[in-house]
Amino acid sequence: MSSATKSRPVLKDETTKPAIVRAWRDVKWKIQPNTYNMRTLLMTAMRKAVDESEDSVGGWEASHREFRNDNSFVIVNEHDRIEAQGWLTDLFDEETYEKLFANEHFGNFVIIRATGIKDFEEMPIYARIGMHLLFYGPVQIRFLKWNFVRNLLKSQSIRQGTIYDQEGPDVVKRIADFIKTYEIDMSDVLVKDPKGYKTFNEFFSRKLKPGARKPAAPNDSSIIVSAADCRLNVFPNFTVARQFWVKGKKFTLPELLGSEVLARRFGNSPSLAIFRLAPQDYHRFHSPVTATIESITTLPGDYYTVNPQAVNQPLDVFTANRRDVCILNASLSNPTSAPNAPFQTLPVAFVAIGALLVGSVGWSFKVGEQVKKGDDLGWFQYGGSTVVCIFPEQANVTWDEDLTKASTGEWQGKEVPEIMAKIPPNAIIGTASATDTFGIEVLVRTGEKIGVCAPVFDAQSTSTPKRGQA
């Protein structure tokens, strides 16, 4: 806030708490009252964001809802800073609001692969609140309230999932307004009419018409395709990924997979692709290769935002968040092989990572079943989400040149004045650092070619069916 409060605000449950709890709150207040109070307000703002989404479903009076300039209702969590100003300024003074929601953590640049244009995507309000909860204030305050923040993000993510599983008369309007807000192309969607969905989550994990995302080179087992409509980064190994993108100190393969033994199957230098899905994206993920599902394991964890501005900070997002680890026994061949040449069966890890306000991950196949390249593998429920796909060193993967250059910051895309003019002059884009170089994500679609493998053959793990078959 703009000025310090003289005494610590007393919470509603104060009288029911033990003396040691009240004393601990006094200590935190004395360290830095402004910051302590600010983080308390941010926690209230996160609860408010979820509360407002429930209000919209439950038939509350119109005065509780938020509207766009054209009077159409918009889900509160998806508001830009102007649309959310009504309820945010109830909590924050004008100066603080401008700093937190108009300048800091404003959004991210992405490159549209099809055109090479450098586009800008504004960060949703709920993600900005989550960012400030994680990073606002000195480290002492963040440490003292860390467990409160973790528990809040988890409880609100689970609650948001429950809200969006509700049925009711307002669901159809919610879906229609979401489509309008994000200008979602429904031409490829299997069920186009919002009335065809019982819940918002059912729409969020909507299916596409058969053939809408045909995989590149479906019969060539050397070609790797995109697993999602997403923002993509690719790296030859974890060391390069930590250098240009993921700054968490525990971002290692054993930590990500939750198993040292499993990680050893991928060799010393596995390659990886990071597929980030934003709320407006088609939220089903597809198999990047032809394979048999060996196992699916759920690892419990936190619900931090997976926005690049969190991933680019020294916070262990991917290895701390709740995630499902699916091991695919993939059929991979060398691009120079003859049509009937043997191919390698190698493990590919497909890690579906939940995020802030993402309560669940679903799978379309069971262990032991076979998936073809491009098959619908599973889905995320509401929110932004991420898939990390790991290929073993033996697969000898080479990612497409444009994706590699963008991921290491060598290619920044083509700036267009009309796009750059949309960004406020004081907005902070990405992670400001004088010493680090960061990559940039590339917008790709499900099924696009993103790389090629040339596996080193091992006589013990080769098979001889035709290429592209399992």
Q: How far apart are CA 183 and CA 78, in angstroms?
A: 13
Contact 106, 84 (CB under 8 A): no
Q: What are the E-state strand segments in 256-367? A: 271-277, 284-286, 291-299, 323-332, 343-353, 361-363
Q: How far apart are CA 69 and CA 53, in angstroms?
A: 19
* 283 is annotated as an active-site residue: no
**Parallel, antiparallel, or unpaired for β 107-112 and 441-444?**
parallel
Among 271, 385, 400, 407, which one carries the catalytic annotation?
385
Contact 443, 281 (CB under 8 A): no
Among 177, 229, 281, 402, which one carries the catalytic annotation?
229
Q: Chain centroid to CA 384: how far?
A: 4
* Helical segments of 77-138, H only: 85-88, 94-97, 125-135
Q: How far apart are CA 28 and CA 4, in angstroms?
A: 14
* 286 is annotated as an active-site residue: yes
Q: How far apart are CA 288 and CA 342, in angstroms?
A: 20
Tokens of 310: 């969190």
Among 157, 170, 286, 402, which one carries the catalytic annotation?
286
For 399, other C-beta atoms within 10 Å of its C-beta total 22
Residue 300's nearest CA partner among 280, 278, 328, 319 is 319
* 259 is annotated as an active-site residue: no
Under DSSP, is residue 349 helix (H, G, I), strand (E, B) or coil?
strand
Please list the active-site residues.
229, 286, 385
